[in-house]
Amino acid sequence: MNKCDQNCNTCSSKCQNGCPICNVAGKKVPLITVKSLLKDKQNYLTDTQTYICINRKCPVIYFQEQNPQYFIKDDIKTQIWFKSSLKEHIVCYCHNIKLLDIVEIVKQSDDEHLTKEKIFELLNIKEPNNCLHNNPLGESCDKLFANAIEYAYKQKKDN
């Protein structure tokens, strides 16, 4: 059996975890995350593995293996960073920090090495994160935050 390399353009088989609309392999997401983010708690979910569709252009957000129902952006409470515009691009779901917020903080700062922790300090954020329930991927925003800071410094340098 071939291992999936998530290159659906060269793949000849149907993915077990492929999106029901675009067939791109999904990323595993904890069921508790999906349940936390659905607007309608009565939506039909099974106990099977849940995935998020990683295709930026596909309308599907969450789906499950062997479950004909899937969920689109209107079914969930928040934007999905990689399926939204730059203006709406959320980096930290727990504290509603957007990419453009980070760009502005970096632009205003003389610090050449801002970190997530320093930005939280500047924003006076002390509450703990609850990524499992708030982040659509069900994981920490650390990597996304680091990428956003890097992007912000590049924008500052280019301007």
Are 58 and 71 within 8 A, CB to CB? no
Q: Average model confidence (pLDDT) for the chain?
A: 87
Q: What pLDDT does 2 receive?
A: 44
9 vs 28: CA distance, rounded Å: 21
Query: Which two tokens mark 15?
Result: 């993915």
Q: Yes or no: say if 130 and 158 are a contact pair by the CB < 8 Å rule.
A: no
Whole-number pLDDT of residue 1: 35
Quickly list H helices, 9-158: 31-37, 99-108, 116-122, 131-134, 142-158
pLDDT digits (tens, 9 = 90+) for 51-101: 999 999 999 999 998 788 899 999 999 999 899 887 789 999 999 999 999
pTM of the model: 0.81
